[in-house]
Amino acid sequence: MIDTHAHLTALDDPDDAVARAADAGVTRILTVGTDVDDCRRSLELAERHDGVFAILGIHPHVAGTATTEDLAALRDLLACPKAVAAGETGLDWYRDYAPRDDQRRIFDAQLELAMELEKPVVIHTRAADDDTLAALAAHTGTIVLHCFSSPHMLPTALERDWYVSFAGNATFPKAVDLRLAATQVPAERILAETDSPYLAPQPVRGLRNEPANVVHTLAALAQARGEEPTELERRIERNAVECFSLP
Ligand SMILES: [Zn+2]
């Protein structure tokens, strides 16, 4: 099993979390860096563990302080062999931690970087669906909607062949709309993630989340889709390998 989105650097014991994940059958983890320093740490972790790969970006929450130098540094880091995607990047009008113009500027810059380096882009969008869709209108590279929580975006995602990645919130009893969305995503576009240490799935809800828990999201998705968990697991692995060009 693979966890396609975790923030290992936000855990106190990332190396142990990698080992616990492997014990649970989660042998590959994509860890996400959210600013240049965090991207360096994420890449170091990826270089230490065969099964760990890095998604490198500047998160919309920190877009307000991101400089041109940061973007140049990010470009260099993204050229490393273990860097498999740009992001997470996008727009967050819910928290609004960074001025909206800065969020747009940093998002556009990362879309350009991804095109130049031919990497997929992992998208964070919150309370900004229409503006996110507008920003992506002209983007022709591979897109992953991470922590999918916007059923409203699903028709566009399906039409444009984007990957849709479900996180622990899809397991919550009230998340009927997310599980319905999961039944509408074609088999070759579905992904699963933890977004650890956030959003622990239902059986461990409220606890600190970690990559081993992706099995709970997988189980909920399989049940919603009426598929065998082992079959969906293989399918998601294959999708991730293709999406992120994993070895
Ligand atoms: Zn994330």
pLDDT at 151: 94
Ligand 1 centroid–CA 7 distance in Å is 6
Q: What kind and span of H or E run contains 246?
A: none
Please state, in angstroms and rounded to a whole number, the distance separating the CA atoms of residues 169 and 146.
12
Ligand 1 centroid–CA 5 distance in Å is 6
* Model pLDDT for residues 159-212, shown as the tens digit of each residue: 999 999 999 999 999 999 999 999 999 999 999 999 999 989 998 998 999 999
Q: Ligand 1 being an ion, which residues bring their Cβ within 5 A of it?
A: 195
Q: What kind and span of H or E run contains 5?
A: strand 2-6
Ligand 1 centroid–CA 34 distance in Å is 8
Ligand 1 centroid–CA 223 distance in Å is 25
Residues 6+ apart with CB under 8 A from 162: 142, 143, 144, 145, 156, 189
List the structure tokens of 88. Answer: 């997470």
Ligand 1 centroid–CA 195 distance in Å is 5
Ligand 1 centroid–CA 4 distance in Å is 10
Q: Tell me which DSSP letter residue 20 carries.
A: H
Please state, in angstroms and rounded to a whole number, the distance separating the CA atoms of residues 145 and 149.
9
* Model pLDDT for residues 98-109, shown as the tens digit of each residue: 999 999 999 999
Ligand 1 centroid–CA 224 distance in Å is 24
* Model pLDDT for residues 59-68, shown as the tens digit of each residue: 999 999 999 9
Mean pLDDT of the region 118-137: 97
3-state DSSP assignment of residue 194: coil
Instruction: Check residue 118 and give left, alpha or beta (phi > 0: left; psi -120 to 50: alpha).
Output: left
